[in-house]
């Protein structure tokens, strides 16, 4: 069960020896929005690792608003990620959009991300509950905390306790930022549940200039980790370039974040 009443201790999700949750360490996941090919992901993986990140992200199946936008490289992208993992030793995080890809993801991906748009894809949640893989469950674009936790419950009710929550901003009237980052969910989630929570300041803001401030605030508020979009040529990125940090700024952010993590 998701409720802390049934499980007072913090859940720690172990990803190939890296622990998400508990108080030990802020886990930082970095990488491009989309995998664009072997050379791109291998290059960025190396930079992200040198910056001090713990894991690599990259989308191979992309839930795009327009059907004419780049839809991701699919299985080839997953293979590119797996190669980058071999080269750097970093576990890989990628988004799964449908039940028919479960076997592929279980075999090749370390953390299966459920995107905001699929938070209430109940068939997908039930199927993920039958695996034992770590699941990164993003909050839906317009979903309440209760709805989000019930989605986590679907995965756990199926028998999979390895759920990591991810706040990625919600829809509000404000148009200046892509979404509105709801930082208050961090202490609320900590009170209501034993599950780890990480913050995605990239999709929450849509603007790389806001990513560092929101990341540091999230750590100060008690987040267990961050997932951040990083690209070495953001102006040429195939998706979400405007919110992607260059590796150098990503490194600076991690250094500052580790300092704050030590005092909270
Ligand atoms: C992503 O991580 O690239 C993504 C599509 O995120 P979200 O589901 O939060 O929009
Ligand atoms: Mn993205």
| pLDDT tens-place string over residues 114-142 | 999 999 999 999 999 999 999 999 999 99
pLDDT score, position 22: 86
Cα 122 to middle of ligand 2, angstroms = 22
Do strands 55-57 and 197-199 pair parallel, antiparallel, or not at all (unpaired)? unpaired
C-alpha span between 153 and 73 (Å, rounded): 31
- Over residues 45-49, the mean pLDDT reads 98
Main-chain dihedrals φ then ψ at residue 171, nearest 5 degrees: -75, 125
Three-state secondary structure call for residue 229: strand
Cα 119 to middle of ligand 1, angstroms = 11
Residues near ion ligand 2 (CB < 5 Å) are: 33, 240
Dihedral (CA of 160, 162, 165, 166) sign: negative
Ligand 1 pocket residue status of 251, Cβ below 6 Å: no
204 pLDDT band, cuts 50/70/90, is very high
Between the CA atoms of 13, 239, 229 and 47, what dihedral angle is there, to the nearest 10 degrees? 110
C-alpha span between 106 and 137 (Å, rounded): 16
ipTM: 0.99
Ligand 1 pocket residue status of 178, Cβ below 6 Å: no
C-alpha span between 169 and 152 (Å, rounded): 17
Which of 30, 33, 226 should be mutated for ligand 1, with most atoms under 8 A from CB?
A: 33
Checking 234-242 for CB contacts under 8 A at 24+ apart, the result is 234/208, 237/32, 237/33, 237/34, 237/36, 238/33, 238/34, 238/36, 238/70, 239/33, 239/34, 239/59, 239/62, 239/64, 239/69, 239/70, 240/33, 240/34, 240/202, 240/203, 241/33, 242/206, 242/207, 242/208
Ligand 1 pocket residue status of 60, Cβ below 6 Å: no
In which region does residue 246 sit, left (phi positive, over 0), alpha (psi from -120 to 50) or beta (all else)? beta
* pLDDT for 244 beyond 90: yes
Main-chain dihedrals φ then ψ at residue 36, nearest 5 degrees: -115, 5
Which of 116, 136, 178, 244 should be mutated for ligand 1, with most atoms under 8 A from CB?
A: 116
- Over residues 67-79, the mean pLDDT reads 98
- Over residues 156-165, the mean pLDDT reads 98
pLDDT digit string, tens, across residues 4-33: 999 999 999 999 999 999 888 999 999 999
Indicate which ligand has the atom closest to the C-alpha of 94: 1
71 pLDDT band, cuts 50/70/90, is very high
C-alpha span between 66 and 179 (Å, rounded): 18
Between the CA atoms of 147, 98, 84 and 218, what dihedral angle is there, to the nearest 10 degrees? -10
Do strands 18-20 and 135-138 pair parallel, antiparallel, or not at all (unpaired)? unpaired
Alpha helix ranges (H) inside 92-235: 102-108, 122-129, 145-157, 185-192, 201-205, 208-220
* pLDDT for 112 beyond 90: yes
- Over residues 129-158, the mean pLDDT reads 98
* Residues sharing a CB contact under 8 Å with residue 7, sequence separation 6 or more, in sequence order: 1, 194
Domain spanning 4-263: which CATH class is it, in words? Answer: alpha beta
DSSP code for 230: B
């Amino acid at each position: 069960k998701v409720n802390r009443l049934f499980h007072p201790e913090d859940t720690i999700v172990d990803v190939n020896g890296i622990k998400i949750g508990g108080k030990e360490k802020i886990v930082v996941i970095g990488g491009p929005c989309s995998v664009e090919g072997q050379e791109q992901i291998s290059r960025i993986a190396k930079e992200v690792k040198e910056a001090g990140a713990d894991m690599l992200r990259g989308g191979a199946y992309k839930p795009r608003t327009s059907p004419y936008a780049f839809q991701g490289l699919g299985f080839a992208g997953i293979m590119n990620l797996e190669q980058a993992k071999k080269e750097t030793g970093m576990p890989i995080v990628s988004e799964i959009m449908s039940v028919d890809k479960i076997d592929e993801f279980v075999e090749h991906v370390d953390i299966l991300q459920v995107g905001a748009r699929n938070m209430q894809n109940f068939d997908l949640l039930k199927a993920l509950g039958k695996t034992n893989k770590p699941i990164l469950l993003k909050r839906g674009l317009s979903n309440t905390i209760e709805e989000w936790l019930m989605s986590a419950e679907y995965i756990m009710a199926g028998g999979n306790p390895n759920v990591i929550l991810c706040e990625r901003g919600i829809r509000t009237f404000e148009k200046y930022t892509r979404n509105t980052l709801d930082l208050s969910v961090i202490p609320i989630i900590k009170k209501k549940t034993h599950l780890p929570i990480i913050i995605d300041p990239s999709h929450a803001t849509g603007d790389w200039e806001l990513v560092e401030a929101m990341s540091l605030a999230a750590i100060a508020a008690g987040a267990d980790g961050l997932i951040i979009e990083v690209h070495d040529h953001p102006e040429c990125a195939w998706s979400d370039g405007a919110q992607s940090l260059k590796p150098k700024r990503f490194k600076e952010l991690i250094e500052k974040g580790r300092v704050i993590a030590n005092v909270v």
